[in-house]
Structure 1
Amino acid sequence: MRTVGIITNPTSGSGRGARRGAEAKAALAAGGHHLVDLSRGSWAASYEAAVAHRASLDALVVVGGDGMAHLGLQVCAETDLPLGIVAAGSGDDIAASVGLPRHDIPAAVTRIEAGLRGDTMRVDVGKVEGGSIEEPASPRYFGAVLSAGLDAAVASYARAISFPRGPLKYKVATAREVPRFRPYGVRVTADGRERTMRCTLVAIANASVFGGGLVISPESSVTDGRLELVTADGMSKRDIVRLFAKLRDGSHVTDPLVRIEQVESVTIVPDGSLGAALPPAFADGELVGATPLTVTVAPRALTVLGGK
């Protein structure tokens, strides 16, 4: 019998989170596992409960969207505790990046059961350090993408609204944030090479997608031991609208104002002499904190149950 911690988000989705959590718990219990419910009503409280029980668990399972997967990363990354993901959110980019079922709880639990029998995947994660990272998790880990430019402003507004869901909410958020945009001033140091720029977009990708399936870095892989730094120079508002439209299929990679480079370490520092202040950074749709931040890759730092 395995001891499995489980975290659900019963307040999400107007009751859907509670129903999905109950279904997942019932399916796992049917497998004969001892379940420890670590849901505590808030991100921070659930994180602290999971960390307190970590040594007694054989695995941690989270039920929900990228926010819940992101929570699980904080508990399991750079430890021996494997993570199971029952992807049931509006985006599920982390689950997609490791080949897990989405919106299919029986299939997700079947994959978790396979993982508990040894079918696991070791994946890279991004590791964020800085003086203003939101507590309680510092350093902060991410599975998909960290955003620190206009993409972060869009993520911030998208996180605050409950409708529409999935990629559509990012369209709504983009429509709100683009008219307010002024190019940001930033100093970026990538693998020791420093440059200053007025930018529209600055993101660090561990996986290829963010924002519910938007393709920001098509060549990114969670198993290559590298990250991708994605930047876009200062753009007009019309060009920005076109850029975000191209994120649907990754065709922005041919835009001469966009640059994608493979890196292992990136430091992002705001530079008010060059442009507007950067918004707080987001990763996996969750608030990480204000810049300056340093992001490094933690190779094979997470074990995912049933990942492919």
Structure 2
Amino acid sequence: MNIALLANPTAGKGRRAALLPAVRERLGAGGDSVTLVSGSSAAEVKEQARRAVAEKRCDALVAMGGDGTVHLGLQAVAGTGVPFGIVPAGTGNDFAVRLGVPPSPVAAAGSVADALRDGRVRAIDLARLEGGDGTSVWFGAVLAAGFDAFVNERANRMRWPKGPQRYNRAIVEELLALRPRRYTMKLDGTETVFESVLVAIGNTESYGGGFRIAPGADPTDGLLDVVVAEPLGRLTLMRLRPKVLKGTHVRDRRVSTHRARVVELDGAGITAYADGERICPLPVTITCVPGALRLAQ
């Protein structure tokens, strides 16, 4: 078997880079060939992975890294039937955690190798996003189009400070600028117009390193979980955020939850983020595609 390994050595702030040889060895322990997929940019890595799958140069693709690396891998394998393995080596690893992937990179590599050897794969739903600007991508975890997306957008524009402090500064500045945004949303064709400070659409339940924004989201039920918070003040929003870690925020009367196969979302001046990656401005149409991913686990 030929295994393509898409690895991000900077994932998890580079702490897991030294494990790459061990992961590669474990994947090939049964005599399989393991080829490293690399490039000078995320776009180049994504293209290399896509070509490896499309040209049938690999029998399986394995992503070693965080949610961003997994996101790149999904673009190559979604809907192809090619088995996909995950070796979590990022900071949050939300998609991997919610799928029950072992947290140890070497143990996860072993699980993937055993599954490929035994022909053991799970059918997992993915979300397909089509943007009004022509963007077309897959995502596995959560799309954010509210406060958390605004924080990411602000942080990405900053040049100072570096590291986590930049994100913390972005949170403070976004809180000071907090205001409700007007959205138009269709759930399986039924339209509503509302104002909100937080909108999230989940295939799985968490983002941001364990924030269970869509608790109970099941990536095998053929549906997307939608969470909407009505306009909230700064203090109320910050008091609600710790509850998201436990998923208890959905018990608040100001938070509503919905399920749908197709979600259409629009709002002026709002950029969507999915799997932690900047995607495109709204409007977007998101469709749950049952069994789009064949997970080797």
| TM-score, normalised via structure 1 length | 0.88
Supply the AA of the counterpart residue of 1:282: Y
Q: Name the counterpart of 1:262.
A: 259
Change in 2 beyond 3 A, CA 1:260/1:158: farther
Asked if structure 1 preserves the Cα contact closer than 8 Å seen for 2:207 and 2:275, the reply is yes
Supply the AA of the counterpart residue of 2:49: A
**How far 1:12 moved relative to its partner?**
3.9
Change in 2 beyond 3 A, CA 1:31/1:171: farther
**How far 1:71 moved relative to its partner?**
1.0
Alignment of 1:1-308 (within 5 A): 2-13=1-12, 15-54=14-53, 55-102=56-103, 104-116=104-116, 117-132=118-133, 138-156=135-153, 163-164=163-164, 173-271=170-268, 277-278=269-270, 280-306=271-297
Q: Secondary structure at the match of 1:215?
A: coil
Supply the AA of the counterpart residue of 1:40: G
Q: C-alpha offsets along residues 3-55 of structure 1, whole Å, 9 cap, x if unaligned?
A: 01111112445543532333322322333221221111321101111111112
Q: Distance in 2 between matches of 1:172 and 1:222?
A: 33
Asked if structure 1 preserves the Cα contact closer than 8 Å seen for 2:8 and 2:64, the reply is yes
Supply the AA of the counterpart residue of 2:84: L
Q: Secondary structure at the match of 1:212?
A: coil
**How far 1:157 moved relative to its partner?**
5.4
Q: Distance in 1 between matches of 2:64 and 2:86?
A: 6
Asked if structure 1 preserves the Cα contact closer than 8 Å seen for 2:12 and 2:66, the reply is no
Q: Secondary structure at the match of 2:246?
A: coil
Supply the AA of the counterpart residue of 2:286: V
Supply the AA of the counterpart residue of 1:285: G
Q: Distance in 1 between matches of 2:68 and 2:21?
A: 18
Q: Name the counterpart of 1:274.
A: none
For this pair of structures, how many residues does the alignment match? 291
Q: Secondary structure at the match of 2:174?
A: helix
Asked if structure 2 preserves the Cα contact closer than 8 Å seen for 1:150 and 1:200, the reply is yes
Change in 2 beyond 3 A, CA 1:187/1:147: same
Q: CA RMSD in A?
A: 2.1
Q: C-alpha offsets along residues 204-252 of structure 1, whole Å, 9 cap, x if unaligned?
A: 1111111111111112111111111111111111111112121111111
Q: Distance in 2 between matches of 1:173 and 1:111?
A: 38
Q: Distance in 1 between matches of 2:138 and 2:69?
A: 13
Q: Distance in 2 between matches of 1:187 and 1:252?
A: 23
Q: Distance in 2 between matches of 1:294 and 1:300?
A: 19
Asked if structure 1 preserves the Cα contact closer than 8 Å seen for 2:11 and 2:89, the reply is no
Q: Distance in 2 between matches of 1:169 and 1:210?
A: 19
Q: Distance in 2 between matches of 1:37 and 1:189?
A: 42
Q: Distance in 1 between matches of 2:52 and 2:39?
A: 13
**How far 1:59 moved relative to its partner?**
0.3
**How far 1:179 moved relative to its partner?**
1.7
Change in 2 beyond 3 A, CA 1:198/1:206: same
Q: Distance in 2 between matches of 1:94 and 1:151?
A: 17
**How far 1:84 moved relative to its partner?**
0.7
Supply the AA of the counterpart residue of 2:288: V
